[in-house]
Protein backbone atom coordinates (compact mmCIF):
# COMPACT_ATOMS: atom_id res chain seq x y z
CA UNK A 1 0.00 0.00 0.00
CA UNK A 2 2.41 2.72 -1.07
CA UNK A 3 1.43 6.33 -0.50
CA UNK A 4 2.82 9.14 -2.64
CA UNK A 5 3.18 12.45 -0.79
CA UNK A 6 3.67 15.44 -3.09
CA UNK A 7 5.17 18.56 -1.52
CA UNK A 8 6.67 16.22 1.07
CA UNK A 9 9.46 18.65 2.00
CA UNK A 10 6.94 21.29 3.05
CA UNK A 11 5.36 21.91 6.43
CA UNK A 12 2.24 19.74 6.17
CA UNK A 13 3.99 17.21 3.92
CA UNK A 14 6.69 16.60 6.54
CA UNK A 15 4.03 15.85 9.14
CA UNK A 16 2.18 13.53 6.77
CA UNK A 17 5.42 11.62 6.13
CA UNK A 18 6.05 11.46 9.87
CA UNK A 19 2.51 10.08 10.42
CA UNK A 20 2.90 7.46 7.70
CA UNK A 21 6.28 6.36 9.06
CA UNK A 22 4.74 6.00 12.52
CA UNK A 23 2.21 3.61 10.99
CA UNK A 24 4.93 1.47 9.45
CA UNK A 25 4.68 2.73 5.87
CA UNK A 26 7.54 3.59 3.55
CA UNK A 27 6.05 6.51 1.60
CA UNK A 28 7.33 8.01 -1.64
CA UNK A 29 8.22 11.65 -0.90
CA UNK A 30 7.97 13.81 -4.05
CA UNK A 31 9.17 17.42 -4.10
CA UNK A 32 10.96 19.91 -6.30
CA UNK A 33 13.20 21.10 -3.48
CA UNK A 34 16.75 19.83 -3.13
CA UNK A 35 17.14 20.05 0.63
CA UNK A 36 14.61 18.16 2.77
CA UNK A 37 15.63 20.08 5.92
CA UNK A 38 12.05 20.46 7.15
CA UNK A 39 11.41 16.77 6.62
CA UNK A 40 14.53 15.92 8.67
CA UNK A 41 13.44 18.33 11.40
CA UNK A 42 9.94 16.82 11.68
CA UNK A 43 10.48 13.16 10.78
CA UNK A 44 14.04 12.65 12.07
CA UNK A 45 17.60 12.91 10.75
CA UNK A 46 17.47 9.40 9.30
CA UNK A 47 14.33 10.11 7.26
CA UNK A 48 16.14 9.77 3.91
CA UNK A 49 16.80 6.09 4.66
CA UNK A 50 13.16 5.43 5.65
CA UNK A 51 11.33 6.95 2.67
CA UNK A 52 11.79 6.87 -1.09
CA UNK A 53 12.83 10.36 -2.13
CA UNK A 54 11.91 11.49 -5.64
CA UNK A 55 12.87 14.93 -6.88
CA UNK A 56 10.38 16.17 -9.45
CA UNK A 57 8.11 18.96 -10.64
CA UNK A 58 4.37 18.57 -10.12
CA UNK A 59 3.88 20.47 -13.39
CA UNK A 60 5.58 17.59 -15.26
CA UNK A 61 2.76 15.16 -15.91
CA UNK A 62 4.88 12.44 -17.52
CA UNK A 63 7.27 12.39 -14.56
CA UNK A 64 4.35 12.06 -12.16
CA UNK A 65 2.73 9.24 -14.13
CA UNK A 66 6.13 7.51 -14.15
CA UNK A 67 6.42 7.75 -10.35
CA UNK A 68 2.90 6.41 -9.78
CA UNK A 69 3.58 3.47 -12.14
CA UNK A 70 7.10 2.67 -11.01
CA UNK A 71 6.29 2.66 -7.29
CA UNK A 72 2.87 0.98 -7.50
CA UNK A 73 1.23 3.98 -5.77
CA UNK A 74 -2.16 3.18 -4.22
CA UNK A 75 -2.86 6.45 -2.36
CA UNK A 76 -1.84 10.02 -3.02
CA UNK A 77 -1.61 12.86 -0.51
CA UNK A 78 -1.16 15.92 -2.71
CA UNK A 79 0.36 19.00 -1.08
CA UNK A 80 2.83 20.45 -3.60
CA UNK A 81 1.75 24.04 -4.15
CA UNK A 82 2.65 27.70 -4.05
CA UNK A 83 1.17 29.77 -1.27
CA UNK A 84 -0.55 33.18 -1.41
CA UNK A 85 2.53 35.48 -1.70
CA UNK A 86 4.16 33.51 -4.55
CA UNK A 87 0.86 33.20 -6.45
CA UNK A 88 0.43 36.96 -6.11
CA UNK A 89 3.99 37.59 -7.40
CA UNK A 90 3.65 35.30 -10.41
CA UNK A 91 0.03 34.27 -11.04
CA UNK A 92 0.79 32.41 -14.28
CA UNK A 93 3.44 30.19 -12.74
CA UNK A 94 1.22 29.87 -9.65
CA UNK A 95 -1.57 28.50 -11.85
CA UNK A 96 0.88 26.07 -13.44
CA UNK A 97 1.99 24.67 -10.08
CA UNK A 98 -1.35 24.80 -8.24
CA UNK A 99 -3.92 24.13 -10.97
CA UNK A 100 -2.06 22.18 -13.65
CA UNK A 101 -0.13 20.37 -10.92
CA UNK A 102 -3.37 19.17 -9.34
CA UNK A 103 -4.82 18.13 -12.70
CA UNK A 104 -1.59 16.18 -13.26
CA UNK A 105 -2.10 14.29 -10.00
CA UNK A 106 -5.57 13.24 -11.13
CA UNK A 107 -4.26 12.41 -14.61
CA UNK A 108 -1.59 10.20 -13.07
CA UNK A 109 -4.33 8.36 -11.16
CA UNK A 110 -6.33 8.02 -14.37
CA UNK A 111 -3.32 6.71 -16.28
CA UNK A 112 -3.09 3.69 -13.97
CA UNK A 113 -6.85 3.03 -13.97
CA UNK A 114 -7.98 1.37 -10.74
CA UNK A 115 -4.53 1.28 -9.10
CA UNK A 116 -4.86 4.55 -7.12
CA UNK A 117 -7.65 4.11 -4.60
CA UNK A 118 -7.94 7.66 -3.38
CA UNK A 119 -6.43 11.14 -3.52
CA UNK A 120 -6.39 13.38 -0.44
CA UNK A 121 -5.33 16.96 -1.19
CA UNK A 122 -5.06 20.35 0.46
CA UNK A 123 -7.54 22.92 -0.67
CA UNK A 124 -7.75 25.98 1.58
CA UNK A 125 -10.07 28.31 3.45
CA UNK A 126 -8.77 30.78 0.84
CA UNK A 127 -11.72 29.61 -1.31
CA UNK A 128 -13.86 31.82 0.93
CA UNK A 129 -13.93 35.60 0.81
CA UNK A 130 -13.83 38.23 3.57
CA UNK A 131 -16.17 37.72 6.56
CA UNK A 132 -18.35 40.65 5.41
CA UNK A 133 -19.71 38.44 2.59
CA UNK A 134 -21.12 35.81 4.94
CA UNK A 135 -23.61 35.61 7.80
CA UNK A 136 -22.08 35.82 11.29
CA UNK A 137 -20.68 32.64 12.84
CA UNK A 138 -18.42 29.83 11.63
CA UNK A 139 -18.43 29.21 7.87
CA UNK A 140 -20.17 26.02 6.88
CA UNK A 141 -18.79 23.45 4.44
CA UNK A 142 -21.32 24.51 1.83
CA UNK A 143 -20.77 28.28 2.15
CA UNK A 144 -20.31 29.71 -1.36
CA UNK A 145 -16.74 30.39 -2.52
CA UNK A 146 -15.71 34.02 -3.06
CA UNK A 147 -11.92 33.83 -3.32
CA UNK A 148 -10.12 37.13 -2.78
CA UNK A 149 -6.74 35.99 -4.13
CA UNK A 150 -5.34 34.14 -7.17
CA UNK A 151 -4.39 31.39 -4.73
CA UNK A 152 -8.02 31.04 -3.60
CA UNK A 153 -9.21 30.95 -7.23
CA UNK A 154 -6.77 28.10 -7.94
CA UNK A 155 -8.06 26.17 -4.93
CA UNK A 156 -11.66 26.54 -6.16
CA UNK A 157 -10.48 25.24 -9.56
CA UNK A 158 -8.87 22.24 -7.85
CA UNK A 159 -12.05 21.34 -5.96
CA UNK A 160 -13.99 21.49 -9.20
CA UNK A 161 -11.31 19.48 -11.01
CA UNK A 162 -11.67 16.79 -8.35
CA UNK A 163 -15.45 16.77 -8.80
CA UNK A 164 -15.20 16.30 -12.56
CA UNK A 165 -12.64 13.48 -12.18
CA UNK A 166 -15.14 11.71 -9.96
CA UNK A 167 -18.03 12.29 -12.36
CA UNK A 168 -16.11 11.31 -15.49
CA UNK A 169 -13.56 8.78 -14.23
CA UNK A 170 -14.78 7.68 -10.80
CA UNK A 171 -11.56 8.85 -9.09
CA UNK A 172 -12.28 9.26 -5.35
CA UNK A 173 -10.88 12.26 -3.53
CA UNK A 174 -11.05 14.32 -0.35
CA UNK A 175 -10.01 17.96 -0.27
CA UNK A 176 -9.33 19.81 2.98
CA UNK A 177 -9.65 23.48 3.77
CA UNK A 178 -7.48 24.51 6.71
CA UNK A 179 -7.22 28.21 7.49
CA UNK A 180 -4.13 29.10 9.53
CA UNK A 181 -1.87 26.11 10.11
CA UNK A 182 0.69 26.48 12.90
CA UNK A 183 3.38 24.33 14.47
CA UNK A 184 6.97 23.21 13.84
CA UNK A 185 7.81 23.45 10.14
CA UNK A 186 5.46 26.35 9.39
CA UNK A 187 7.52 29.20 8.03
CA UNK A 188 6.17 30.49 4.70
CA UNK A 189 2.85 32.10 3.75
CA UNK A 190 0.72 34.90 5.22
CA UNK A 191 -0.62 32.80 8.08
CA UNK A 192 2.82 31.59 9.22
CA UNK A 193 2.96 34.64 11.53
CA UNK A 194 1.79 32.96 14.77
CA UNK A 195 4.41 30.22 14.37
CA UNK A 196 7.12 32.79 13.59
CA UNK A 197 6.13 34.63 16.78
CA UNK A 198 6.68 31.37 18.73
CA UNK A 199 10.10 30.96 17.13
CA UNK A 200 11.03 34.58 17.94
CA UNK A 201 9.92 34.00 21.54
CA UNK A 202 12.27 31.01 21.92
CA UNK A 203 15.13 32.99 20.37
CA UNK A 204 14.39 36.02 22.59
CA UNK A 205 13.96 38.32 19.59
CA UNK A 206 11.42 41.13 19.15
CA UNK A 207 8.77 40.29 16.55
CA UNK A 208 5.88 42.21 15.02
CA UNK A 209 2.87 40.20 13.89
CA UNK A 210 1.81 41.96 10.69
CA UNK A 211 -1.90 41.28 10.99
CA UNK A 212 -4.41 40.97 13.79
CA UNK A 213 -8.06 40.15 14.32
CA UNK A 214 -9.26 36.57 14.65
CA UNK A 215 -8.45 33.44 12.73
CA UNK A 216 -8.98 29.68 12.85
CA UNK A 217 -5.65 28.24 13.98
CA UNK A 218 -5.11 24.53 13.49
CA UNK A 219 -2.14 22.50 14.69
CA UNK A 220 -0.23 21.03 11.76
CA UNK A 221 -0.37 17.46 13.05
CA UNK A 222 -4.20 17.65 13.05
CA UNK A 223 -4.13 18.56 9.35
CA UNK A 224 -1.75 15.68 8.58
CA UNK A 225 -4.00 13.29 10.51
CA UNK A 226 -7.04 14.36 8.45
CA UNK A 227 -5.18 13.81 5.17
CA UNK A 228 -3.87 10.38 6.19
CA UNK A 229 -7.29 9.29 7.44
CA UNK A 230 -8.95 10.39 4.21
CA UNK A 231 -6.32 8.67 2.06
CA UNK A 232 -7.29 5.37 3.73
CA UNK A 233 -11.04 5.84 4.06
CA UNK A 234 -13.64 3.94 2.08
CA UNK A 235 -15.60 7.05 1.12
CA UNK A 236 -16.59 7.49 -2.50
CA UNK A 237 -17.18 10.66 -4.56
CA UNK A 238 -15.18 13.89 -4.52
CA UNK A 239 -15.61 15.33 -1.07
CA UNK A 240 -14.44 18.65 0.35
CA UNK A 241 -14.08 19.42 4.04
CA UNK A 242 -13.57 22.51 6.16
CA UNK A 243 -11.10 21.95 8.97
CA UNK A 244 -11.41 23.67 12.31
CA UNK A 245 -8.91 24.18 15.11
CA UNK A 246 -9.31 27.10 17.53
CA UNK A 247 -11.00 30.34 16.58
CA UNK A 248 -8.91 32.94 18.34
CA UNK A 249 -7.78 36.57 18.25
CA UNK A 250 -4.09 37.10 17.57
CA UNK A 251 -3.74 39.07 20.80
CA UNK A 252 -4.81 35.93 22.65
CA UNK A 253 -2.14 33.89 20.83
CA UNK A 254 0.48 36.39 22.03
CA UNK A 255 -0.87 36.05 25.58
CA UNK A 256 -0.65 32.25 25.39
CA UNK A 257 2.93 32.42 24.11
CA UNK A 258 3.92 34.82 26.91
CA UNK A 259 2.30 32.58 29.53
CA UNK A 260 4.08 29.48 28.26
CA UNK A 261 7.35 31.37 27.62
CA UNK A 262 7.59 34.23 30.15
CA UNK A 263 10.92 35.45 28.77
CA UNK A 264 9.02 36.57 25.65
CA UNK A 265 6.99 39.18 27.58
CA UNK A 266 7.12 42.51 25.76
CA UNK A 267 8.92 41.12 22.68
CA UNK A 268 5.82 40.38 20.60
CA UNK A 269 3.67 43.16 19.17
CA UNK A 270 0.94 43.20 16.54
CA UNK A 271 -0.50 45.77 14.14
CA UNK A 272 -4.24 46.34 13.85
CA UNK A 273 -4.87 44.92 10.38
CA UNK A 274 -7.44 42.12 10.17
CA UNK A 275 -6.87 39.64 7.33
CA UNK A 276 -9.49 39.47 4.55
CA UNK A 277 -10.16 35.81 5.34
CA UNK A 278 -12.78 33.87 7.26
CA UNK A 279 -12.26 33.92 11.02
CA UNK A 280 -13.84 30.57 11.94
CA UNK A 281 -14.74 27.39 10.07
CA UNK A 282 -17.40 24.80 10.85
CA UNK A 283 -16.03 21.26 10.33
CA UNK A 284 -19.31 19.34 10.71
CA UNK A 285 -18.79 17.37 7.49
CA UNK A 286 -15.28 16.23 8.47
CA UNK A 287 -16.41 15.16 11.92
CA UNK A 288 -19.35 13.26 10.40
CA UNK A 289 -17.35 11.39 7.72
CA UNK A 290 -13.95 10.94 9.35
CA UNK A 291 -14.36 11.87 13.02
CA UNK A 292 -14.50 12.08 15.87
CA UNK A 293 -11.29 14.04 15.53
CA UNK A 294 -11.07 16.65 18.29
CA UNK A 295 -8.52 19.36 17.45
CA UNK A 296 -5.40 19.83 19.56
CA UNK A 297 -6.17 22.52 22.16
CA UNK A 298 -4.39 25.77 21.31
CA UNK A 299 -2.63 25.90 24.66
CA UNK A 300 -1.16 22.43 24.00
CA UNK A 301 -0.22 23.18 20.39
CA UNK A 302 1.56 26.39 21.42
CA UNK A 303 3.41 24.51 24.19
CA UNK A 304 4.47 21.71 21.85
CA UNK A 305 5.66 24.17 19.23
CA UNK A 306 7.69 26.18 21.75
CA UNK A 307 9.21 23.01 23.22
CA UNK A 308 10.17 21.70 19.79
CA UNK A 309 11.75 25.03 18.83
CA UNK A 310 13.64 25.08 22.14
CA UNK A 311 14.95 21.56 21.51
CA UNK A 312 16.09 22.48 18.00
CA UNK A 313 17.69 25.69 19.27
CA UNK A 314 19.60 23.76 21.91
CA UNK A 315 20.91 21.42 19.19
CA UNK A 316 21.88 24.43 17.04
CA UNK A 317 19.34 23.34 14.40
CA UNK A 318 16.65 26.01 14.63
CA UNK A 319 16.33 27.61 11.19
CA UNK A 320 15.51 31.30 11.67
CA UNK A 321 16.11 32.70 8.17
CA UNK A 322 12.52 33.81 7.75
CA UNK A 323 12.68 35.98 10.90
CA UNK A 324 15.31 38.24 9.36
N1 LIG B 1 0.02 26.20 5.72
C2 LIG B 1 -1.24 26.64 5.74
O3 LIG B 1 -1.67 27.42 6.62
C4 LIG B 1 -2.19 26.15 4.70
C5 LIG B 1 -3.53 26.54 4.81
C6 LIG B 1 -4.41 26.09 3.85
C7 LIG B 1 -3.97 25.28 2.83
N8 LIG B 1 -2.67 24.92 2.73
C9 LIG B 1 -2.25 24.08 1.61
O10 LIG B 1 -1.58 22.93 2.10
C11 LIG B 1 -0.61 22.49 1.14
C12 LIG B 1 0.74 22.36 1.81
O13 LIG B 1 1.04 23.58 2.48
P14 LIG B 1 2.39 23.77 3.31
O15 LIG B 1 2.09 24.75 4.39
O16 LIG B 1 2.97 22.46 3.66
O17 LIG B 1 3.28 24.49 2.20
P18 LIG B 1 4.87 24.56 2.06
O19 LIG B 1 5.13 25.79 1.24
O20 LIG B 1 5.54 24.42 3.38
O21 LIG B 1 5.21 23.26 1.19
C22 LIG B 1 4.93 23.15 -0.17
C23 LIG B 1 5.92 22.17 -0.77
O24 LIG B 1 5.62 22.03 -2.17
C25 LIG B 1 6.83 21.99 -2.87
N26 LIG B 1 6.63 22.43 -4.24
C27 LIG B 1 6.41 23.70 -4.68
N28 LIG B 1 6.33 23.72 -6.02
C29 LIG B 1 6.51 22.45 -6.44
C30 LIG B 1 6.53 21.83 -7.72
N31 LIG B 1 6.40 22.56 -8.84
N32 LIG B 1 6.73 20.50 -7.80
C33 LIG B 1 6.90 19.75 -6.67
N34 LIG B 1 6.90 20.29 -5.42
C35 LIG B 1 6.70 21.62 -5.31
C36 LIG B 1 7.77 22.92 -2.12
O37 LIG B 1 9.14 22.62 -2.40
C38 LIG B 1 7.38 22.65 -0.67
O39 LIG B 1 8.21 21.65 -0.11
C40 LIG B 1 -0.65 23.51 0.01
O41 LIG B 1 -1.54 23.06 -0.99
C42 LIG B 1 -1.25 24.73 0.69
O43 LIG B 1 -1.88 25.57 -0.25
C44 LIG B 1 -1.77 25.34 3.65
How many of the other CB atoms lie within 10 Å of CB of 241?
24
Pocket of ligand 1 (CB under 6 A): 7, 9-13, 31-33, 57-59, 79-83, 97, 122, 124, 178, 180-181, 188-189, 191
Q: Which domains does the chain possess? A: 2-323 (3.40.50.720)
DSSP string, 114-168: TS--EEEEE--GGGS--GGGS-SSSBPTTPPP---SHHHHHHHHHHHHHHHHHHH
Residue closest via CA to ligand 1's atom 20 equals 10
| Stated pTM of the model | 0.98
d(CA 31, CA 25): 18
Q: Residues 256, 274, 143, 92: is their CA dihedral positive or negative?
A: negative
Distance 101 CA to ligand 1 centre (A): 12
Q: Which atom of ligand 1 lies at the shortest distance from residue 97's CA?
A: 31
Cα–Cα distances in angstroms (integers) from residue 39 to residues 45, 184, 208, 226, 289, in the given order: 8, 11, 27, 19, 29
Q: Where are the alpha helices (DSSP H) in 204-297?
A: 220-232, 250-260, 284-290
| pLDDT tens track, the chain, 324 positions | 799 999 999 999 999 999 999 999 999 999 999 999 999 999 999 999 999 999 999 999 999 999 999 999 999 999 999 999 999 999 999 999 999 999 999 999 999 999 999 999 999 999 999 999 999 999 999 999 999 999 999 999 999 999 999 999 999 999 999 999 999 999 988 899 999 999 999 999 999 998 888 999 999 999 999 999 999 999 999 999 999 999 999 999 999 999 999 999 999 998 888 877 889 999 999 999 999 999 999 999 999 999 999 999 999 888 888 887
Sheet holding 214-219, edge to edge: 180-182, 214-219, 246-249
Q: Which atom of ligand 1 lies at the shortest distance from residue 155's CA?
A: 43
Strand, helix or coil for residue 307: helix
Amino acid sequence: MTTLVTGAFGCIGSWVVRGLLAEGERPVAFDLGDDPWRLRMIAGDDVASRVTLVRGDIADRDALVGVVREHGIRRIVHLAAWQVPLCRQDPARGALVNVVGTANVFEAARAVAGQVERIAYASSAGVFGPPSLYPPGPLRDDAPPHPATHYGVYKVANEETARVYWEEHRIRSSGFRPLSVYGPGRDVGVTATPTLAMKAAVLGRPFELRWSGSTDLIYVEDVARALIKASRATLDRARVYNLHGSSVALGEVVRLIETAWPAAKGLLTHVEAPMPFATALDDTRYQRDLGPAPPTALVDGVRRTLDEFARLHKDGRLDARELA
